[in-house]
């Protein structure tokens, strides 16, 4: 059975996706938390790049089960794509190379979700390994920070819009399926 890989990113209206932990919490409400919990909760594994892993591993293991998502994230399998990370410190974590992701999709069951990890998301899209891209656009302009696809150097990829809806406080959820890559 083939597993699917979905990615979820928080973005500002000017498409800044870098360091959402420093700007997006003012926009978080019950509806957004429920959406993120649904996305993470339906996954059997969390796929992260090294930098995002380090931020998450520094934070989530120290949160109690009363914090939304803490129990889910702390108990689920974490897969870190890295060639430089030594021994992972977060429970139930393994480190793989990018070239192992296709095999991960072919092994096991359940959905793999990517949280943050901008460079990893772009690499998955370029390699035709991402099945769904979810973007939660916040009604704020940041003016600075890494933008989605700022450094993308892969092939052209057409996206099909699967869903679009407005959550509380004007946060827009869009769900896209990457389509055919064009050279």
Q: How many domains does the chain have?
A: 1
Domain harbouring 104, CATH code: 3.40.430.10
| Per-residue pLDDT at 26 | 67
Contacts of 77 (CB under 8 A, 6+ apart): 44, 45, 46, 92, 93, 94
Q: Are 114 and 87 in contact (CB under 8 A)?
A: no
pLDDT over threshold 80, residue 34: no
pTM for the model: 0.87
Both tokens of residue 139? 């009604």
Angle at alpha carbon of residue 90, lines to 89 and 92, rounded to 5°: 115
Query: Confidence class of residue 41 from pLDDT cuts 50, 70 and 90?
Result: low
pLDDT over threshold 80, residue 103: yes
Query: Confidence class of residue 151 from pLDDT cuts 50, 70 and 90?
Result: confident
Contacts of 97 (CB under 8 A, 6+ apart): 81, 83
- State the Rg of the chain over Cα: 16
Structural domain range at position 126: 5-182
Lowest mean pLDDT among 2-11, 12-21, 91-100, 116-125: 12-21
Bridge-based pairing state of the strands 43-49 and 111-115: parallel
Residue with tokens 């591993």: 57
High-pLDDT (> 70) share of the chain, %: 86
Q: Are 10 and 17 in contact (CB under 8 A)?
A: yes
Query: Confidence class of residue 109 from pLDDT cuts 50, 70 and 90?
Result: confident
| Per-residue pLDDT at 66 | 75
Residue 26 CB-density burial (10 A; 0-12 exposed, 13-18 middle, 19+ buried): exposed
pLDDT over threshold 70, residue 33: no
pLDDT over threshold 90, residue 170: no
Distance (Å, rounded) from C-alpha 79 to C-alpha 76? 10
Average pLDDT of the residues of the chain: 86
CA 111 to chain centre: 12
| Per-residue pLDDT at 168 | 84
């Amino acid at each position: 059975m083939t597993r699917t890989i979905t990615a979820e990113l928080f973005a500002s209206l000017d498409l800044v996706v870098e360091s959402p932990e420093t700007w997006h919490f003012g926009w978080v409400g019950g509806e957004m938390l429920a959406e993120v919990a649904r996305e993470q909760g339906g996954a059997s594994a969390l796929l992260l790049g090294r930098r995002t892993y380090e931020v998450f591993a520094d934070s989530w293991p120290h949160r109690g089960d009363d914090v939304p998502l803490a129990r889910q994230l702390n108990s689920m399998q974490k897969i870190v794509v890295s060639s430089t990370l030594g021994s992972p410190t977060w429970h139930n974590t393994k480190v793989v190379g990018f070239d192992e992701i296709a095999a991960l999709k072919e092994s096991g069951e359940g959905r793999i979700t990517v949280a943050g990890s901008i460079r990893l998301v772009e690499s998955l899209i370029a390699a035709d390994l991402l099945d769904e891209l979810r973007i939660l656009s916040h009604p704020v302009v940041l003016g600075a920070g890494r933008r989605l696809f700022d450094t993308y150097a892969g092939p052209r990829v057409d996206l099909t819009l699967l869903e679009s809806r407005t959550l509380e406080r004007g946060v827009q959820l869009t769900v896209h399926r990457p389509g055919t890559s064009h050279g």
